[in-house]
Amino acid sequence: MKFNTKTIHGGQHDVDPAYGSVMPPIYQTSTYSQSTPGGHKGFEYSRSGNPTRAALERSLASIENGNYGLAFGSGLAAIDAVIKLLEPGDEVISTNDLYGGSYRLFTKIFEGFGIKFHFIGMENAATIESYLTDKTKLIWVETPTNPMMSIIDIQAAANIAKKHNVLLAVDNTFATPFLQQPLDLGADIVMHSATKYLGGHSDVVMGALVVKDKALAEKLYFIQNASGAVCGPQDSFLVLRGIKTLHIRMQRHCENGKAIAEYLKAHAKIEKVYWPGFEEHPNHEIAKSQMRDFGGMISFVTKGNNYDEAIKIVERLKIFTLAESLGGVESLAGHPASMTHASIPKEEREKTGVVDSLIRLSVGIEDIDDLIADLKQAIG
């Protein structure tokens, strides 16, 4: 089954056995009848499992070419479960350019439990090896990174992880499985903020993990069930519905993203545009080899690195909405230094390029002429 078909049918039963509904029903229940203690039809309590969530989890596994999917109450809840695989004294090597919430969770929560994090540039994957010790248990990768769109060689990172018997987890939120499938490149765990492209309509908050290995899946399921950070059936239904149009939405996100990246690159007031589709973008060739296209996420800085000018631009936008998040059908604009990455200290942000004038765009699926006209009037 090819990807475009998987988004609609992957992991799904043809019809619901009760009444033949084409879409899996929303099983809005907390508990299930048992004929005798332990005698049930596959579900006993909805923290442990729910038929609607199970349908979503099968879909997630299918589109990532994995064997096991787990759906969580948020992307951070999914990350939290991964880090709970570790013990005090363990070490993690992480991308240094990453979502501010991930950085906050790592440093403000798990460092307090004795887990050490190394935040490094991974554009040259070989750099990872110099930070590996016998205490390293996990390599955490974002690619493209948030918000600098850096590209990390997943296969090279996977080779290093396997050589040293270390887990490799890849945050695939920006790319989605439409553009890249990290498990096929050797990753052990794929993570998504399903709030973003998988849901696609800015109406749900959810996270997801996908793995191939049964033993690893069982450990993560135990953590999920014991900690309780699950999503509800209504949210599961919404993300499952969103996945069914992922392939056609991503095609338009990519088309519009390319047009806007090229428009911004040619603009006299723009200093730098970060988009992996440019030939001069660092690791562009790696992006070409591990991604099917280059996505709809773009960051740029204005000339002069002027904070006030960046704020004026995002405030003047009319079709782009100034808001947190990304990946919806509507175009969004954000100011990472004061919004998504405000939890990262200024000196750490600026080491990776997250300067005060940086603007991040999540390019939606509106008419491209309207989006470019909006940017034109906002930038001047």
> 53, 196, 212, 249: which is the annotated catalytic residue?
196
- Other Cβ atoms less than 10 A from the Cβ of 85: the count is 16
Task: Please enumerate in sequence order all residues whose Cβ is within 8 A of that of 110, keeping only pairs 6 or more positions apart, or say none.
Answer: 83, 86, 117
Tokens of 367: 């008419």
Active site (annotated) includes residue 241:
no
Cα(104)–Cα(145) distance, integer angstroms: 16
> 68, 99, 197, 221: which is the annotated catalytic residue?
99
H helix count then E strand count, the chain = 13, 12
> 16, 32, 47, 307: which is the annotated catalytic residue?
47
> 80, 97, 153, 171: which is the annotated catalytic residue?
171
Active site (annotated) includes residue 47:
yes
Tokens of 313: 């631009």
State the pairing for strand pair 189-193/136-142. unpaired
Determine contact, residues 133/160, Cβ cutoff 8 Å: no
Eight-state DSSP code of residue 210: E
Q: Which of 375, 246, 231, 379 is nearest to 312 (CA)?
A: 379
Q: Which of 93, 212, 111 is nearest to 160 (CA)?
A: 93
Which positions are catalytic?
Answer: 47, 99, 171, 196
